Structure 1
Amino acid sequence: MVLLTRVDSGSSIGVNGNMRAETKSAVFHRHLNRDFLPLAKSEGNYLILEDGREVFDASGGAAVGCIGWGNKQVAGAIMKQVLDAPYCASIYYTTRVQEELCRALVDSTSGKMARAYIVNSGSEAMEAALKLARQYFVELKPSQPQRTRFIARNQSYHGTTLGALAIGGHQYRRSNFEPLLMKNASKVSPCFAFRGKFPGETDEDYVNRLAKELDDEFQRVGPETVCAFVAEPVVGAALGCVPAVPGYFKAVRAVCQKYGALLILDEVMCGMGRTGTLHAWEQEGVVPDIQTIGKALGGGYQPVAGVLANPRVINVIRDGTSAFVHGHTYQGQPTSCAAALEVQRIIREEGLLSNVREMGTLLSELLKTRLGDHPNVGDIRGRGLFWGIEFVADKQNLTPFPVDAHVAMEISELGLTEEYSISVYPGAGSADGIRGDHIIIAPAYNVTSKEIEMIVATFGRLVDDFFANGKFAS
């Protein structure tokens, strides 16, 4: 059973299973032959449809919602800023709210990062990070203009604009646009113990093997040509909440230092508290040269993302031209800054990070108890309130389902039907970049233990029913 089914005639089947005529929407939706659920209101942890039905938001959309919905304090901050100054031409002006947000972000790193640059999406943030890395080497004394390459990882996702897409290793999102992507980005293996570790291999041996692979890639392309190594501390959409094994990021940082390259950490999905600390790198014992943030920065109340750069990078730009050759009409947009500043204040003052850690432990334990022995659940992994469940056709051999089975998408769509009324986030490609289905569960930071219990009970029933009643029933 699926929520939304493509019908060749141009009609579609809606949530009640009845065929209805194409809605003649003017929206260029993600899929032109599907109807989409009409969202009327969001309140607390619930999404309320126009017919009044409530859907529990167990993933915060794409791990965006972090304080729940309908927060009047955030709405008030946005409205005040709209009336005060809704837009700022950054070529001439700054605003107090942008200054306060960037100061709060820099201070949250205890001075390890020096400046923040506010944009509107994670893709924009990654584009800015790549350009900043390049400009750093152009302005470095002596200049190193030969550094034009980036090394990233397979089965990663860093955004959908052309530069960010070139760095990413999500094959489905890349495939149509390969001829347009820059050719100076190469990939190494992700740190993915579930599928990457050899039988009997220790974490230390695995880390050493991956570090050698990265070192070999530097050597292959010419270490003097590499601007940066790019990675997600906890891989989000492409792998489904995969944290690195202990010591991995210290090892890759050492390789970058060996060759004078920068380390860029993409925390758009896993950062700003989602994994239990405000910055995911705090748990890895490393400090990036450049960091991207997004999603939980503004909690879904406004489009907002950002780039943080450490003193090493900022000092070179300051002592050189002092001007970052980059810019957006809406960078530092005041209402977005106001939303982010208020969301971050709420997270800090309400002590929500401790709740992320506490509820994350509970979510982990309950998921593993409820689904760990399921014949089609291969792995349950994550950190904080960022958990992924990977599905397999054969648990013994970890065989993924065929691509055209769309297992994760169908599970998530079934979850939106009235019987379950739960929203979870589907993903694919975790096995080899194309095959491999996973679901992400990433509730708001203020989720309660009762809600965690409800999420696991409902999702467990959803998974059981899908595999028992669907086309994969044994």
Structure 2
Amino acid sequence: MVLVKVQGPAHPETADEAKPAFQSAVLHRHLATEFFPLTRAEGNYLLLEDGRKIFDASGGAAVGCIGWGNKRVAEAVTKQVLAAPYCATIFYTTRAQEELCRTLVDSTNGHMSRAYIVNSGSEAMEAALKLARQYFLELDPPQPDRVRFISRKQSYHGITLGALAVGGHVYRRAKFEPLLMKTVSQVSPCFEYRGKKPNESDEEYVNRLSEELDAEFQRVGPETVCAFVAEPVVGAALGCVPSVRGYFKAVRAICDKYGALLILDEVMCGMGRTGTLHAWEQEGVAPDIQTIGKALGGGYQPVAGLLAGRRVIDAIEKGTSVFVHGHTYQGHPAACAAALEVQRIIQEEELLANVRNLGALLSRRLKEELGDHPNVGNIRGRGFFWGIEFVADKTTAAPFPPEAHVAMDICELGLADEYSINVYPGTGTVDGVQGDHIIISPPFNVTSSDIELIVDAVTRLVNDYFAKGS
């Protein structure tokens, strides 16, 4: 995010030349800019060093789920750090890890058998891909030809090389294409706004996408496919796009037909963000492997995870009983303690019901205020996970050119005093390069008055941005 230009020369030629007031040593996302120092976060607000107080309507990247400064979580982390700050998982386990994994497995109504705790969504996806491959090697007889994955265009599953390879985000892949594994192919996303034909029913659209996926299995050889990978509600790449009714049941049927696994990436849309703890609960299917993150620990510690179904775990247990994968900081005690306490708070305070109830209010108010705006093409989402896609022409749905930086500029403008709202930018919505959207994903414990504050600020922000640009 481009925020403030760095002041002064980066490399003074003499000692007498004035040096910048501050020269960062951080390898930031953008080296030609200086980022706003965040001094404190409390409740739903971010407090900046220059005195600004920003309402965090996106929870960062859909991370914050119980607000900031929660003392219960801080105390749980502190207690764990003082008791055992680190655990070498080659020899030991901790009560925090055991209780967290038991909580997660039990939350799936018997569909999942084991949980694996790591530090980021990208790590979780890397583990999922390797576990899927190993599953087929552990079968009796093994199926070593299963080396391929099928995913979807305009998807994002993480930034490490394996996760990037199964993602379909053109911009993020571009510089690293030569390094990415070549055993991945992609099919169309389930994207009603841009993919569904005029007068095409949901059933017809699902059938068309199903036929495309089935044809891709046939093209690459169904006996070579490990898994199909998808997000139940597409986050950063498309801006909160849910599938149409029946899509994932059709996908599940095709995977079962060819003996492939179904991997659902819920790093961004899961752990309550869409109104149920697991987004797949709303689809009527369960995955074989699931990745989780962001709202798992609510930002209080770096934590993500993988859930594996009984089919997968049974094969490993009957085979070598060894998952050939590992991280120094997997199952980190403080991260597990934070995530466990966050999940307890969500359950005890019945926050998922709040997400469902006020999610309907957020949806209705956004559509009332911005649905007719000439540069708002589509408003979509579920629960507390909503995307607004911007277009240059509402009739044709033509996007703005990438060099206009519409989404990023809107988000930057939102930090100004008259709006004081933090929303999350996304680009490449149309084809991985063109297209702009923002994401609104507030904490699960916001009130109806908070929802009105968000809608008011976002409405003024969008109206003013396009009025100034016209």
Deviation for aligned residue 1:83:
0.3
1:67–1:446: 8 Å Cα contact kept in structure 2? yes
* Partners of 1:153 and 1:168 within 8 A in 2: yes
1:5 CA displacement: 5.7
Report if the CA contact (8 A) 1:121-1:305 is conserved: yes
Structure 2: runs of 5+ lacking an equivalent: 11-18
What corresponds to 1:28 in structure 2? 27
Q: Which residue of 1 aligns with 2:305?
A: 306
Contact 2:3–2:36 (CA under 8 A) maintained in structure 1: no
1:89-139 C-alpha deviation (Å, 9 max, x unpaired): 000000011000000000001111000000000000000000000000011
Q: CA deviation at 1:418?
A: 1.5
Q: After superposition, give the CA deviation of every residue in 1:268-315 in whole Å (9 maximum; x if it has no partner).
A: 000000000000000000010000000000000000000000100000
Please tell me the residue identity of whatever aligns with 2:179. L
> Aligned equivalents of 1:289 and 1:86: distance in 2?
32
Contact 1:86 1:335 in 2 (8 A): yes
Amino acid at match of 1:30: R
**Aligned residue runs from structure 1 range 198-237, under 5 A:** 198-237=197-236
Question: Offset of 1:3 from its aligned partner?
Answer: 6.7
Equivalent residue number for residue 344 of structure 2: 345
**Aligned with 2:176: secondary structure?**
helix
Structure 1 residue 7: Cα displacement: 7.7
> What residue number does 1:15 align with?
none
Q: Secondary structure at the match of 2:395?
A: coil
Letter matched to residue 336 of structure 1: A
Q: Is the 8 A contact 2:6 2:34 kept in 1?
A: no
Letter of the aligned partner of 2:411 in structure 1? S
How far apart, in 2, do the equivalents of 1:430 and 1:57 lie? Answer: 23
Post-superposition shift, 1:53?
1.7
Output aligned runs, 1:418-457, within 5 Å.
418-457=417-456
Aligned to 1:114, the other structure's residue is in SS state strand
Question: Cα deviations across residues 134-158 of structure 1 (Å, max 9, x unaligned)?
Answer: 0000111110000000000000000
Decide which moves more: 67-76 or 414-423.
Answer: 414-423
Asked whether 1:104 is paired with 2:64, we answer no
Q: Which residue of structure 1 aligns with residue 399 of structure 2? A: 400
Structure-2 separation of matches of 1:165 and 1:215: 23
Structure 1 residue 24, shift from structure 2 partner: 1.1
Distance apart, 1:21 and its partner CA = 4.5
CA distance 1:216–1:48, shift in 2 (3 Å):
same
The code of the aligned residue for 1:252 comes to V
Residues 163-182 of structure 1 correspond to what in structure 2 (within 5 A)? 163-182=162-181
| CA-CA distance at 1:9 after TM superposition | 8.0
Once residues 423 and 151 of structure 2 are traced to their aligned partners in structure 1, the CA distance between those partners, rounded to angstroms, is: 28
- Residue 265 of structure 2 is matched in structure 1 by 266
Matches within 5 A, 1:30-69: 30-69=29-68
- SS for the counterpart of 2:93 is coil
> In structure 2, what residue type is equivalent to 1:69?
W
Contact 2:267 2:291 in 1 (8 A): yes
Secondary structure at the residue paired with 2:323? Answer: coil
What is the CA deviation profile of residues 58-107 of structure 1, one whole-angstrom value per residue up to 9, with x for unaligned ones?
A: 00000000000000000000000000001000000000110000000000
User: What TM-score do the two structures reach when normalised by structure 2?
Assistant: 0.97
Q: Distance in 2 between matches of 1:292 and 1:467?
A: 38
Cα distance, 1:51 vs. partner?
Answer: 2.6
Counterpart residue number, 1:86: 85
Q: Offset at 1:170?
A: 0.6
Equivalents in 2 of 1:460, 1:391: separation in Å? Answer: 13
**SS at structure 2 position matched to 1:342:** helix
- CA drift of 1:8 comes to 11
C-alpha contact (below 8 Å) 1:10/1:22 kept by paired residues: no
Please state how far the C-alpha of 1:226 moved relative to its aligned partner: 0.1
* AA partner of residue 377 (structure 1): V
Partner of 2:296: 297
SS in 1 for 2:33: coil
Cα distance change, pair 10–402 in 1 and its aligned pair in 2 (3 A): farther
CA gap of 1:252–1:399, structure 2 versus 1, over 3 A, is same
- Cα–Cα, structure 1 residues 146 and 22, in superposed 2: closer, same or farther, change >3 Å? farther
Distance 1:21 1:228 in 2: 52
Q: Is this contact kept in 2: 1:3–1:417, CA < 8 A? A: no
1:23 CA drift (Å): 2.9
Q: Does the 8 Å contact 1:3/1:416 carry over to 2? A: no
Distance 1:8 1:466 in 2: 26
Distance 2:2 2:169 in 1: 25
How far off its partner does 1:6 sit?
5.4
Instruction: Tell me which amino acid in the other structure corresponds to 2:241.
Output: V
The SS at the match of 1:228 is: strand
Q: CA deviation at 1:50?
A: 1.5
Task: Give the aligned partner of residue 16 of structure 2.
Answer: none
Q: What is the CA distance between 1:52 and its match in structure 2? A: 2.6
CA-atom RMSD in angstroms: 1.3
TM-score (norm 1): 0.96
Q: Check the 8 A contact 1:134/1:147 in 2, yes or no.
A: yes
State the distance in 2 between where 1:418 and 1:259 align.
56
**1:10: how far off?**
6.1
Contact kept in structure 1, 2:415 and 2:421, CA below 8 Å: yes
Assess, with a 3 A threshold, how the Cα gap between structure 1 residues 7 and 337 changes in structure 2: closer, same or farther: closer
Deviations, residues 415-449 of structure 1 (Å, cap 9, x unaligned): 01122111000000111111000000000000100
Matches of 2:8 and 2:383 in 1, distance apart? Answer: 45
Amino acid at match of 1:173: R
Aligned equivalent of 1:334 = 333
Contact 1:356 1:445 in 2 (8 A): yes
- The AA in structure 1 aligned to 2:264 is L
In 2, are the aligned partners of 1:233 and 1:270 still within 8 Å (CA)? yes
User: For 2:442, what is the secondary structure of its paired residue?
Assistant: coil
Whole-Å separation in 1 of the counterparts to 2:214 and 2:201:
20
Judge conservation of contact 1:412–1:424 (CA < 8 Å) in 2: yes
State the one-letter code of the partner of 2:174: S
What's the counterpart of residue 315 of structure 2?
A: 316
Q: Deviations over 1:190-211 (max 9, x none)?
A: 0000000011100000000000
Contact preservation (8 Å) 1:3, 1:414: no
- Partners of 1:274 and 1:360 in 2: how far apart? 10
2:140, 2:228 → 1: CA distance?
Answer: 21
User: What is the alpha-carbon distance in structure 2 between the residues aligned to residue 9 and residue 96 of structure 1?
Assistant: 52
Identity of aligned residues (%): 74
